[in-house]
Structure 1
């Protein structure tokens, strides 16, 4: 009887169905956990993603299983994942980002918009390459948007254009966002001279409260009239910012930038990771998507740096080209990397607030890019 019970437990355990593919994905999850905890590579993103990958690659958990019938329940993460599939989480993340973001540096230096636009260069490159590799225009657009380094926007666009690619694109987009401190610095040092990196920038002008209140309203009207499909992202981003800048809804602003975004980040991170199961993830197309996504991200960084160098020349050395790398949408990660690299070259350099201009321009730029692609291929 005891032996039979042991045998029954063993047969129903995950060990029986564990394959080498599962072991590969479990190893990847453990590496990502290491990078999040030990290397501190954006642990707020990387840790839940890594644990989601770990959970879904342990056999028989059923966490991402759809309900077999209307009378049966599906897995826990299946239901949480609906917020990703339906585009709910990306919009809520943008609400929180807006509430946490100061658009002052962008308002004070509107030229930052050009850097944000230049940092979308990788999207076009990846779109062209993906099309050449046989992906449909809708799939190529979804792959290309990874270059904006904006996980919520990548999820939003892919859920509309190429839902089948959502697992690979979501994991790639969020992983590259989290790995910015590893990917960007070598490109920054390659594209700029030590003299460039040493440039100290003057403090920008003080932006008035009226300007900060008018900015989200004006941007919403212009962007949504031009590209109505951007309303969920631009609308929520600017609403969150209006909460912050109005000064009359402190509780709403606090909730959006703390409790709400933290809860949504947990749900989104774990469920995005949970899409990376061994059976569907370890495929040639997935490898292509991840490679193209990295290529897109690198070229977006290069595009931003090139615009930064151009602005440095135009202003006769008043702009440090390093802020160009912050033109990708990852806020405030990319701006922090610009600050770190600037201080390595010149310890008295303080580029963070200067880099925030291109950084928030990149958020708007990636949302607008998604709207353009949705209008063209939707």
Structure 2
């Protein structure tokens, strides 16, 4: 009984707050079906590492010495020292992506680039709020709506706010169907949302599909060397998909590998969600800045399409620009759903998919550029 009472007395209010945060993530995963493969293990892990003297993380015990917890070990091996887990996930993501709609309509590349503007605006805002440049850069990348890239940038820079950044990145990814429609409607008119875009795809040869991931990797290596691991693993996954001789491996990467790594990544991230690290005013600020980054990315994509429409005869539905964020394929589906709601005959899904996969590449390149630029700015 004394042992139980001693455990109860060690519980802090900050730990209780983290139990509530964990419960909220689990509720969103199960009740709302928001990225359950990620939010559920993150939520459960947040509870796991915030129990008094939790055996899931390293502890120093009298008469025993230091014990090694499995969650902390996974974090140190899979993220801290190698970034292996987020990079392995990119193989699965790459294997899921069909770049056909983008290759048949290359101008969609522009929307992937435009929809990353919010990242850099948020970096500036974070610096003005008192965050150092590396933390600000890590916070800004939340706007890419790309969890693995956010994790990799924050960990590479050794950000003390790694947990809050990870939670924000994946939470806003999950909330795409709620946040994006509000941002899109704020900067577009009903008439603009009803613009039809005929889809006349050009045939994309198998040779082009195979060369594309190789060429993108080479270009990324020259333009943004720090992005090679990010872009390379993404494109390697896509090459497995497109080569035509590794169907079983492609299926494994898209399903078994992606699901297993996602599960492990979610519970591993929870190591950085201990109460002493997570419960702070800075966490609230990061969540707010992450939301700003995400909304700005969406708005910038829409506004870029509206600017292009000033010069084009065949107008672009501005909602397609919003799909230029990295949240694939959720953002493309949201845009199509909004288009159908405005006009039941308006099918712009494939245009949105083209912008969406472009956003996946652009967000990874943006992460690589930040990894390369920030150290140079610091001297």
Tell me the TM-score normalized by structure 1.
0.92
What is the alpha-carbon distance in structure 1 between the residues aligned to residue 134 and residue 237 of structure 2? 30
Aligned mate of 1:295, from 292, 297, 318 = 292
Secondary structure of the residue aligned to 2:106 is coil
**Per-residue CA distance 1:261-320 (angstroms, 9 max, x = gap):** 111100111122342222211112222222111111111111111122233444335422
What is the alpha-carbon distance in structure 2 between the residues aligned to residue 70 and residue 111 of structure 1? 63
Matched, 1:257 2:254: yes
What is the alpha-carbon distance in structure 1 between the residues aligned to residue 86 and residue 60 of structure 2? 25
Greater shift, 304-313 or 171-180, is seen at 304-313
User: Aligned-pair distance for 1:145?
Assistant: 1.0
Q: 1:316 to 1:22 in 2, by over 3 A?
A: farther
Question: Residue 66 of structure 1 contacts residue 78 of structure 1 at CA under 8 Å; is this kept in 2?
Answer: no
Aligned to 1:116: 112
Matched, 1:138 2:134: yes
Matched, 1:125 2:118: no
**Per-residue CA distance 1:157-213 (angstroms, 9 max, x = gap):** 111123322122111111111111121111111111112222222123232222111
What is the alpha-carbon distance in structure 2 between the residues aligned to residue 126 and residue 76 of structure 1? 35
User: Aligned-pair distance for 1:72?
Assistant: 5.0
Aligned to 1:16: 9
Question: Residue 199 of structure 1 contacts residue 317 of structure 1 at CA under 8 Å; is this kept in 2?
Answer: no
Paired residues in the alignment total 371
Aligned to 1:227: 224
User: Aligned-pair distance for 1:9?
Assistant: 4.3
Aligned to 1:37: 30
User: Aligned-pair distance for 1:64?
Assistant: 2.6
Q: How does 1:1-378 map to 2 (within 5 A)?
A: 7-13=1-7, 15-65=8-58, 72-82=66-76, 83-85=78-80, 86-203=82-199, 204-378=201-375
Q: Output the aligned Cα RMSD.
A: 2.1
Q: 1:70 to 1:328 in 2, by over 3 A?
A: farther
Greater shift, 26-35 or 280-289, is seen at 26-35
Greater shift, 262-271 or 155-164, is seen at 155-164
Secondary structure of the residue aligned to 2:346 is coil
User: Aligned-pair distance for 1:70?
Assistant: 12
**Per-residue CA distance 1:26-81 (angstroms, 9 max, x = gap):** 22222222222222222222222222223223333231326889985411111221
**Structure 1: 5+ residue stretches without partners:** 1-6
Question: Residue 327 of structure 1 contacts residue 359 of structure 1 at CA under 8 Å; is this kept in 2?
Answer: yes
Question: Residue 332 of structure 1 contacts residue 356 of structure 1 at CA under 8 Å; is this kept in 2?
Answer: yes
Greater shift, 31-40 or 259-268, is seen at 31-40
What is the alpha-carbon distance in structure 1 between the residues aligned to residue 349 and residue 43 of structure 2? 29
Greater shift, 60-69 or 155-164, is seen at 60-69
Greater shift, 17-26 or 62-71, is seen at 62-71
Secondary structure of the residue aligned to 2:51 is coil
Question: Residue 138 of structure 2 contacts residue 159 of structure 2 at CA under 8 Å; is this kept in 1?
Answer: no
User: Aligned-pair distance for 1:18?
Assistant: 2.7
Aligned to 1:4: none
Tell me the TM-score normalized by structure 2.
0.92
Question: Residue 184 of structure 1 contacts residue 298 of structure 1 at CA under 8 Å; is this kept in 2?
Answer: yes
User: Aligned-pair distance for 1:137?
Assistant: 1.6
What is the alpha-carbon distance in structure 1 between the residues aligned to residue 85 and residue 369 of structure 2? 21
Q: 1:103 to 1:71 in 2, by over 3 A?
A: farther
